[in-house]
Structure 1
Amino acid sequence: MHRRTVLLGGSGATLLGLLGSSLASPAEAAAPHDAVAPAPGPFEASSVRRLAQALSKQPYKAPSTDLPKALESVTYDQYRGIRFRKDRALWREQKLPFEVQFFPRAFLFRSAVEIFEVADGKATPVPYSPDLFTYDEPSLRVSEPIGFAGFRIHTPGANGGDSDELCAFLGASYFRAVAKGQHYGLSARGLAIGTGNPKGEEFARFRAFWLERPGPDSRTLVIHALLDSESVTGAYRFTVRPGDATVFDVESVLYPRRDIAEPGIATLTSMYQFGPKEARRFDDWRPAVHDSEALLMWTGGGEQLWRPLANPVDLQFSVFGQSNPKGFGLMQRARAYRDFEDLEAQYEKRPSLWIEPIGDWGQGGVDLVEIPTPNETNDNIVAFWRPKDKLSANGEYTFTYRMHWAWDTPWPTQLARITTTLIGAGPEEGSHLFVIDVAGEGVKGKGEDAKLRPEVSASKGKVTNLSAIPNPETGGWRISFHLIHGNEKLVELRAILLGEAGPVSETWLYRWTA
């Protein structure tokens, strides 16, 4: 089964990847909540926040995963054959600027989420009916009111054509979005807890959503969500703005039931199998396979850091400590068909996702988890902001940020950007050659007479044969060096191209592992 091949509708629909066993906590087998629960009735901006706070005072109860017998053992292909009827989309008849389609419960998506429409200050449940779907196998149509697993948002197509998919919320606290002309790629999560911890990760889930009915001329859509898990509850407000980039303004308030030592705020999840620097490890006909190629960070001090992703032999956990970051994201800069040569996957059309913190995030760090994977089936890259201090039980924590699902970062840079990282065997045993290409404003038009110099450091081993020369093929510059690592198993590397007045390129970071 391919992670990216759950069809979101009929022929020609866009794709949403499965997230495997990470979609649900192993404890999801108990009865639903009854003491504090979402309900129809009056709704205002603070409603979900008050509900989350009240729910945090109650013991956690996992959602039911019970399904009618006919749906108990649905396969991937069978699930794909249950399709929402586009003509029954919420708000379609009113010809509003957004439409909502819904996902069925089955396969990996066993838990129901409660979904409400908000209009005129009142929340009304979106009614479930088996008639909302078509079935390749009629035996999978059950009469029980089993509810929905999630939903996706569309915008009306141009000239009366089919609608364009904008974003989808499906599984735990996962959601995805695309900009114009893109295909689904990396995911976001409402919250991560214990990611990379050998003891295992806790998966919070959105258990209820409130969709505010947009006005006829509205350019934004507001979605409220209630987060719940063993350790925390939370209230989320997503303001979604489509365009050349799809922008989410996220307001989140967390209420821990117990201390959370390893929270992940604004969590990003992606896939990196290999690129040019690892191509020799994989017997694959394509030159690269990845949804994202690097972690980009703009620190509070103004430094721009480019950390190429890796598919390591052993799990790797990196922490980039800083205060009040200006932004971070998982980026895809490879944008040509020739970078991947894959007519089906079209990885060059996967979005980059940039997180722009709003307000004072204080001290903490961007964490990067890289998990070994033999193929492109599994998401193996996770990045998030971890506050320096734990989230304490019975506290209240607010994080506000803007998400840019786009082709690039939302702002230009005057620095040259890293375009390529290549690694090969060095001239002697226990060494490797590194080649880094940079291009862009910082080096544009600068030839051999420019007083540019590379600066490279290594945590272990020795750097030799350091050079920087113009690259006439790219209009940029090329840095190269040898790393003599001997028997070392891990070396942290840092490189930058400097001019007379300071940096002219991003700072390249890399963790080399044997």
Structure 2
Amino acid sequence: MLRRDVLKALAALAAVPSASLASGNGLRTGDPKPFNAQTVLNRARKLATSEFTPRPTVPQAWQELSYDEYRSIWFDPRNAYWADTDLSQHIDVFPPGLYFPRAVEINVVADGSARPLQFDLDVFTRTDKFPDLPLNEHMGYSGLRLRADLRDNGHFTEYAVFQGASYFRGIGTGETYGLSARGLALKTADPTGEEFPDFIAFWVEEPKKIGGSVTLHALMDSPSCTGAFRFEITDGPVLNMEVEATIFARTELSHVGIAPLTSMFLFDSTDRTRFSDWRPNVHDSDGLMIHNGAGEEIWRPLANPKTLQVSAFGDLNPKGFGLMQRKRDFEDYNDLEALYHNRPSVWITPRGDWGEGAVTLVEIPADLEIYDNIVTYWRPSTPIEAGTSHSMRYRLQWGADPSPNSETLARVIKTAIGGRPEGGLVIVIDFENSESIPEDLSDLDVFLKASAGRATPPIVQRNPVTNGPRLAFTFHADGAKLAEFRVQLRAANAPASEVWLYRWTV
């Protein structure tokens, strides 16, 4: 699945402005069925006892739509569910076709009953570029979008989208969509090929009239497992999603990714040699941040390697991890269209003990920014056996800086790498200033370790622009093809900065 193509299609549909005229016919619902907190869980459990059967598809002509044709049909927000009420949320739907050959079941829940949204072509606006297409009994919507009055001005603005496999995205108020989350990752970067579970049905509970959150349930299905998900979603400057999920394994899940995130990293100042580009940085995220169970705060700058790289950061009961976008100034990207400076970071906070495992980072070579080439997730050390279930709880936060940053430790704000005329690579790390950094930088102790090659003694100077310390050293590979670096500033025998980790490859 080309995720960037999907995101482009969604962005095109999201760009359609809300109309101010009276509502049209609106989304219609079918007959009600009982619904309670166990409905999705019971359905997932029962589904796991039978063999996986792919859902039927919409007509082939819908699947063969061109990108431009798919852009020529979009949902009319006047037809949103709850648009004609005083409730705090609106639901939009997306058309099937192109990258979405199978419809998903979408239900709205109120007073203990769930009513399915029935497919209606008239809820969409179409241009003359959209062809006349046949319909069949398997027609339906490909996903949903949530909107709320985020700025308290009467205008309902989108903040979350669930569409495509088990992918979903969110933004804090005023942000631009960037990285994605998934319900589950299976066999990512595995030689046998990755498996993409699908959310095949959604239930959205009726929200309160003013403010509050919206509760969304999702049923997942895949050849290897099924799953029941519950999202408690609260919009705002930082979008909060409390997630509860139970996975039912059809087969042994030996390579499973919990709370996976997917992003794009093309280049930054660590390596510009492969790209002739007028922009200084191109990425949705620039680093993986980890608060591990031992209390360390780790910053791992992302890379776009020439060969597939998989890194595993072993841990016991992690406190949190996420993909961050730390560069926040327009000048960092100089891009008027992509607005990379406005892309959200996502922070994951485990609920309860997750046990032994590893925060896993997959970095995939990419030559264009249309490809999502970064994946991170928690991989439990113990496989989920066939016929058993696995429950998990965590919080997802989408925003400019949703991570619980230390009040004392200096964060890494930039990493730059470049060649020296006399040989070797200069590696420069800028840290922000903080109360942990002594006024006299000579009082700092520097921990620097390289797994291969030679690293010169580091030099620490104060950066007059940031007022924080800049650490620089030269690395000589001496024939090594790969080297792992670990750097930390310390003062008075205590950490003064995050731990900076980096993997260098030829």
Task: State whether TM-score is above 0.5.
Answer: yes
Per the TM alignment, residue 12 of structure 1 is displaced from its structure 2 partner at its CA by 5.2
Q: Secondary structure at the match of 2:335?
A: coil
Q: Secondary structure at the match of 2:273?
A: helix
- Corresponding residue of 2:26: none
Per the TM alignment, residue 111 of structure 1 is displaced from its structure 2 partner at its CA by 0.8
Structure 1 residue 340 corresponds to structure 2 residue 340: no
Distance 1:283 1:209, change over 3 A: same
Per the TM alignment, residue 388 of structure 1 is displaced from its structure 2 partner at its CA by 0.5
- Corresponding residue of 1:123: 114
Question: Residue type of the partner of 1:340?
Answer: Y
Q: Which runs of 5+ in 2 are unaligned?
A: 19-30
Among 460, 482, 494, the alignment partner of 1:490 is 482
- Corresponding residue of 2:76: 85
- Corresponding residue of 1:266: 259
Question: Residue type of the partner of 1:291?
Answer: D
Structure 1 residue 135 corresponds to structure 2 residue 138: no
Q: Which runs of 5+ in 1 are unaligned?
A: 14-38
Aligned 1:381-420 pairs, distance under 5 A:
381-413=374-406, 414-420=408-414
Per the TM alignment, residue 442 of structure 1 is displaced from its structure 2 partner at its CA by 4.2
Is the 2:433–2:469 Cα contact (8 Å) retained in structure 1? Answer: no
Is the 1:104–1:147 Cα contact (8 Å) retained in structure 2? Answer: yes
Question: Residue type of the partner of 2:96?
Answer: R
Is the 2:63–2:99 Cα contact (8 Å) retained in structure 1? Answer: no
Is the 1:82–1:136 Cα contact (8 Å) retained in structure 2? Answer: yes
Aligned 1:237-386 pairs, distance under 5 A:
237-386=230-379
Is the 1:303–1:507 Cα contact (8 Å) retained in structure 2? Answer: yes
Structure 1 residue 45 corresponds to structure 2 residue 37: yes
Per the TM alignment, residue 448 of structure 1 is displaced from its structure 2 partner at its CA by 3.2
- Corresponding residue of 2:22: none
Structure 1 residue 8 corresponds to structure 2 residue 13: yes
Per the TM alignment, residue 257 of structure 1 is displaced from its structure 2 partner at its CA by 0.3
Q: Secondary structure at the match of 1:277?
A: coil
Per the TM alignment, residue 95 of structure 1 is displaced from its structure 2 partner at its CA by 2.4
**Per-residue displacement from partner, 1:72-101 (whole Å, max 9, x unpaired)?**
410111111111011100111112111000
Structure 1 residue 447 corresponds to structure 2 residue 452: no
- Corresponding residue of 2:140: 147
Question: Residue type of the partner of 1:417?
Answer: R
Per the TM alignment, residue 468 of structure 1 is displaced from its structure 2 partner at its CA by 1.3
Within 1, Cα distance between the matches of 2:371 and 2:147?
A: 26
Aligned 1:181-196 pairs, distance under 5 A:
181-196=174-189
Per the TM alignment, residue 440 of structure 1 is displaced from its structure 2 partner at its CA by 3.5
Among 227, 230, 250, the alignment partner of 1:234 is 227
Is the 1:135–1:141 Cα contact (8 Å) retained in structure 2? Answer: no
Q: Secondary structure at the match of 2:369?
A: coil
Is the 2:150–2:235 Cα contact (8 Å) retained in structure 1? Answer: no
Per the TM alignment, residue 281 of structure 1 is displaced from its structure 2 partner at its CA by 2.0
Is the 1:130–1:143 Cα contact (8 Å) retained in structure 2? Answer: no
**Per-residue displacement from partner, 1:275-324 (whole Å, max 9, x unpaired)?**
11212320011000000000000001110010000000000000000000
Q: Secondary structure at the match of 2:70?
A: helix
Is the 1:267–1:382 Cα contact (8 Å) retained in structure 2? Answer: yes
Within 1, Cα distance between the matches of 2:463 and 2:377?
A: 35
Distance 1:322 1:135, change over 3 A: same
Is the 1:442–1:505 Cα contact (8 Å) retained in structure 2? Answer: no
Structure 1 residue 95 corresponds to structure 2 residue 86: yes
Within 1, Cα distance between the matches of 2:392 and 2:341?
A: 31
Within 2, Cα distance between the matches of 1:159 and 1:234?
A: 36
Question: Residue type of the partner of 2:77?
Answer: K
Structure 1 residue 469 corresponds to structure 2 residue 461: yes
Within 2, Cα distance between the matches of 1:182 and 1:468?
A: 36
> What percent identity do the matched residue pairs reach?
41
Within 2, Cα distance between the matches of 1:217 and 1:161?
A: 12
Count of residues paired in the alignment: 487
Per the TM alignment, residue 180 of structure 1 is displaced from its structure 2 partner at its CA by 1.1
- Corresponding residue of 1:55: 47
- State the TM-score, normalized to the length of structure 2: 0.93
Within 2, Cα distance between the matches of 1:454 and 1:198?
A: 40
- Corresponding residue of 2:97: 106
Distance 1:121 1:150, change over 3 A: same
- Corresponding residue of 2:203: 210
Is the 2:263–2:373 Cα contact (8 Å) retained in structure 1? Answer: yes
Distance 1:83 1:210, change over 3 A: same
CA RMSD of aligned residues (A): 1.8
